[in-house]
Amino acid sequence: MAKVDVGTQVAYTVAADYIAEVGADFDFRAVDDEVLAELNSLAPVGIEVKRDGRVFADEGLEETARGLDWRPLLQRIDVDAILSRHGR
């Protein structure tokens, strides 16, 4: 089934100010990759966030994707655990 760009973007990357607060050196690309993978695993089937933050959905799920509140999904991700796995 073809995926459709639903015109929504999700800011899923870890904020620089949080990284500075933690005060360590991390493989940021690996952190972002893991956050994105976890976010996509929490999203409804047929809805996916791409690396650039754009949201794509299977045909017929566009309105579901547009109406999705991403904040609760993002809050379920344990960013500290991800950071601990990707320190340099």
pLDDT digit string, tens, across residues 18-75: 878 877 778 889 999 999 999 999 999 999 999 999 999 999 999 999 999 999 999 9
pTM above 0.85, yes or no: yes
Q: Which domain holds residue 12?
A: 3-85
Q: How many domains does the chain contain in total?
A: 1
Query: Is 48:61 a contact under the CB 8 Å cutoff?
Result: no
- 3-class SS of residue 52: coil
- 3-class SS of residue 19: helix
Q: How far is CA 25 from CA 10, 38, 62, 78, 81, in A?
A: 25, 21, 38, 18, 14
Number of neighbouring beta carbons within 10 Å of residue 26: 18
